Structure 1
Amino acid sequence: MANGDIPAAKLRVWWAHRQWLDGGAHRGASPAQVLAATGWARSVGGAAPYLGLFARAGLRRAEVDAAVAAVEVQELPAARGCTYVLPAEDFALGLAAGAGVAESEIAAAVRHLGVTQDEVEQLCLAVSELLSDTEPLGPQQIRTAAGPAIRTLGEDGRKRGVSSTLPLALGLLQARGLIRRVPVDGRLDRQRYGYLRWDQAVHGEAADLARRYFSWAAPASVRHFRWFSGFNAATAKAALAPLELIRLPGSDLLLPAELADEFAEFTVPDEPAYALVASVDGLHLLHRDLPRLVDPRDAHRTTPASRTGRSFGSEADPSTHLVVDRGRIIGFWEYDPEQRELVHQLFVPMDAALRATVDAVETFVREDLGDARSFSLDSPRSRAPKLAALRTANRYATPGSPNAT
């Protein structure tokens, strides 16, 4: 990413400002309001949606779960076919953004596994007839009820990650807005789901997605937008054409014209604005360009328990949760559910405001979540090397140094 004439510190704090990570000014906003204003929250079976909503608006788990139950927000296959938590106003657009992925998965199964489009469509009808609007059925219940309508795909299917035709049908029905996947216990950080019948419209143009994206993530480059959307170069170019975007001087970053005056007058505040966010938080993942959030003096650091040995500033994605201040990554953190404590490594000295932020997140995770998994396969056991490395960093920190607690 070429910043050109724009100071990196200004860009970082602007991105944090647009992400509502600027000091708690938006407390009281609803989950849907946060997601509409700052972008869809990536959901990978971990705590990221909860952590992001808490960091931006102080929302507790019960408030988020209530919004999920009321279908004010929903976990859906959206951009690139990946699951995100979306506000209701974006359900149609999100499904449209991810619709092609389900079709491509079926096309691959037709080519390589002998599946036919007709058998998938017939299975879709069978599944739709089984589901209700109110009582979700889990995958095993659907398998039992659908019986011979589901075909196993043998060893070849397992190698391709598709053991039967059921996932193909469920994916297609979700993409068409005809069913929705709901967490069995109402929580977004679990991976036990049931399915309900649904009737959600699916519509939206590539330009609509581009308009949303640049309202959340600008300044951003075409490359950033293509990463988020999954669009090829031609589709991305067509999507951006109707938008009035200006290029920042000496850079490849684009900004909506309606934000130009605000951005020009925007200054870096003197007071810190600390936040603890997930590794897949939108502050990073909307662009997926990690070095833009890393100060040069921190780029040489290695991620705790890193297996690659690469410097943090050269990584594509962080492997730990992040401590940020005005858009700059200033530390790593993880949660230890056995000790019921948050463990961190900081690049800056601890002050009272940072201590209060760390304590608030530790209390939130302990009382509301019980753990802060990065993704579905994350566990206390797999996390143990990172926790040990974070504790070691603190053990050898001298009083008053960045890592001293």
Structure 2
Amino acid sequence: MTEHLRAWWSHRQGLDGSLRGAAPDEVLARTGWARSVGGSGPYLGLYARCGAGREAVDAAVAALEVHELPSARGCTYVLPAGDFALGLTVGAGAPEGEIRAAEKHLGVRPAEVEELCEAVTAALGDEPLLPAAIRDAAGDAVRNLGDAGKKRGLTTTLPLALGRLQARGEIRRVPVNGRLDQQRYGYVRWGLDLGGLGEAEARAELARRYFDWAAPASLAHFRWFSGFTAAVAKAAVAGLDLVELEGGLLMPGALREEFEAYARPKKPQYALLAGIDGIHLLHRELGRLLDASDAERTFLKRSLGGLADAPAHMIVDRGRLVGLWEYDVEAAEIVWQSYVTPDAALRKAVAATEAFVRDELGDARSFSLDSPKSRAPRVAELRAGPG
């Protein structure tokens, strides 16, 4: 059953070649939103699923076919256009929570934030403005929060206004150089119509999408992805036609027959992915991807079976984690280790991804602050072979 589940998840994630040639927005709509933390994850995920190069992904961003937005749990994901309103609606609680915390701990009045929102909106147009330029344009409407603010990671009131305006769809954040893997942003006026989507309706719609992307999944998995409380998550799935499988896993009734008839491919289907790819992060249960013997392996003196997340980028085969990798910028090569005997297909997958990273990305950062220096211990561990 474990191998069947893994292969099914991989199939639903489009890692079996079934989405080859599809557009980035179609891939994200069918397989789920791509977590973005200023790293290479969205590019690697789309390349593995549909073969899209960086220019194609950047063009989709520029055309607003896909966009990086604060959404589930208030975290940033790359979403397809059809999900912009939904993503912003389910993520709106995070910036409002930050405003409430600023009121409680820093004396920031809600009316003060709203006045700043008006000043920011007046300052923005179609050309991106960097935060420093917005601060200058807003003038006295921006307040410095002093040492107390610094201790809470909030030096001025500007981020509060920017967060609220993004959640409302009134402004959007755009990468200065058009790339998703470098965190330097400007802001432009937007005016996205959120469609009057209510909170309960948005939560139910997120649940419907989630179980289409990730099923079989448990209610606990959905709670992790959504950030909902147990009661809210239970209410969100109440109207869905979910059937229960063994282990408390749920899936849409419409998928059950297809799931039971699905046959695991006999040949390997290798994919090199970021450690935060949806094949893992939709459930955030690394043990699902590990064979029992691999769970006992160690990486940087930590047991894989005891980790919440992959300690490096992942190599997967039909839903199983079969190795780890990182990119060595100085050597311009992927350094990897495998938990299976490497065959021609695995070496081909590594070579293809290596060429993509070298020629189109230049690096494969895990997140914005990842660097060749910070990942040196991981690269050295990979060169040493699997533990």
Offset at 1:319?
2.0
2:117 alignment partner AA: C
3-state DSSP of counterpart to 2:302: coil
The separation in 2 between residues aligned to 1:85 and 1:339, in whole angstroms, is: 30
Q: Tell me which residue corresponds to 1:238.
A: 235
Mapping for residues 210-229 of structure 1, pairs under 5 Å: 210-229=207-226
1:105 paired to 2:101 = no
Aligned residue for 1:15, secondary structure, equals: helix
Q: Which residue is equivalent to 2:257?
A: 261
In structure 1, distance between residues paired with 2:330 and 2:141: 45
Structure 2 matches for 1:326-341, cutoff 5 A? Answer: 326-341=318-333
Amino acid in the other structure paired with 2:61: V
1-structure distance, mates of 2:363, 2:190: 31
The one-letter code of the counterpart of 1:236 is: A
Q: Distance in 1 between matches of 2:84 and 2:211?
A: 18
- Can you list the C-alpha shifts for 1:355-376, whole angstroms capped at 9, x where unaligned? 1100000000000000000001
Partner of 1:87: 80
Which residue is equivalent to 1:382? 374
Is residue 257 of structure 2 the alignment partner of residue 279 of structure 1?
no
TM, length-normalised to structure 1 = 0.93
Deviation at 1:310, TM superposition (A): 3.0
- Picking from 225, 247, 252, the partner of 2:248 is 252
Out of 188, 202, 207, the residue aligned to residue 204 of structure 2 is 207
Distance of 1:360 and 1:152 partners within structure 2: 49
For 1:286 and 1:393, the matched residues in 2 are separated by: 29
Q: Show the 5 A alignment for 1:256-405.
A: 256-303=252-299, 306=300, 309-393=301-385
Please identify, of 267-276 and 51-60, the stretch whose mean Cα deviation from structure 2 is larger. Answer: 267-276
AA partner of residue 150 (structure 1): V
SS at match of 2:280: helix
* Alignment correspondent of 1:71: 64
In the alignment, residue 310 of structure 1 is paired with which amino acid?
R
SS class of match (2:327) = strand
Identity over the aligned pairs, expressed in percent?
A: 62
1:242-270 superposed Cα distances (whole Å, 9 cap, x missing partner): 0000000x311001000010011112211
What residue number does 1:11 align with? 5
1:176 partnered with 2:172: no
Q: Residue type of the partner of 1:14?
A: W
- TM-score under structure 2 length normalisation: 0.97
User: CA–CA distance in 2 between the matches of 1:42 and 1:162?
Assistant: 24
Distance 1:155 1:47 in 2: 34
Q: Partner of 1:131 in structure 2?
A: 124
Residue 391 of structure 1 and its aligned partner are, at CA, apart by 1.0
Q: Distance in 2 between matches of 1:296 and 1:210?
A: 31
Question: Superposition pairs for residues 189-200 of structure 1, below 5 Å?
Answer: 189-200=181-192
User: Secondary structure at the residue paired with 1:194?
Assistant: strand
Q: Which runs of 5+ in 1 are unaligned?
A: 1-6, 395-402
Query: What aligned pairs does 1:150-169 form with structure 2 within 5 A after superposition?
Result: 150-169=142-161
Instruction: Quote the offset at 1:350 in angstroms.
Output: 1.0
Higher mean C-alpha deviation, range 115-124 or range 24-33: 24-33
1:369-402 CA distances to partner (integer Å, 9 max, x unpaired)? 00000001100000011111111218xxxxxxxx
How much has 1:213 moved relative to structure 2?
Answer: 0.2
Alignment of 1:27-46 (within 5 A): 27-46=20-39
Shift of 1:318: 1.1
Matched residue SS, 1:381: coil
Alignment of 1:46-65 (within 5 A): 46-65=39-58
Q: Deviations over 1:298-334 (max 9, x none)?
A: 011112xx2xx33101200112000000000000000
Q: Which amino acid aligns with 1:42?
A: R
Match of 1:26 among 14, 19, 27: 19
SS of 2:78's equivalent in the other structure is strand
2 CA distance for matches of 1:90 and 1:318? 28
Q: Once the two structures are superposed, what CA deviation does each residue of 1:208-231 show, in whole Å capped at 9, x if it has no partner?
A: 000000000000000000000011
What is the root-mean-square deviation of aligned Cα atoms in Å?
1.0
**3-state SS of 1:288 partner:** coil
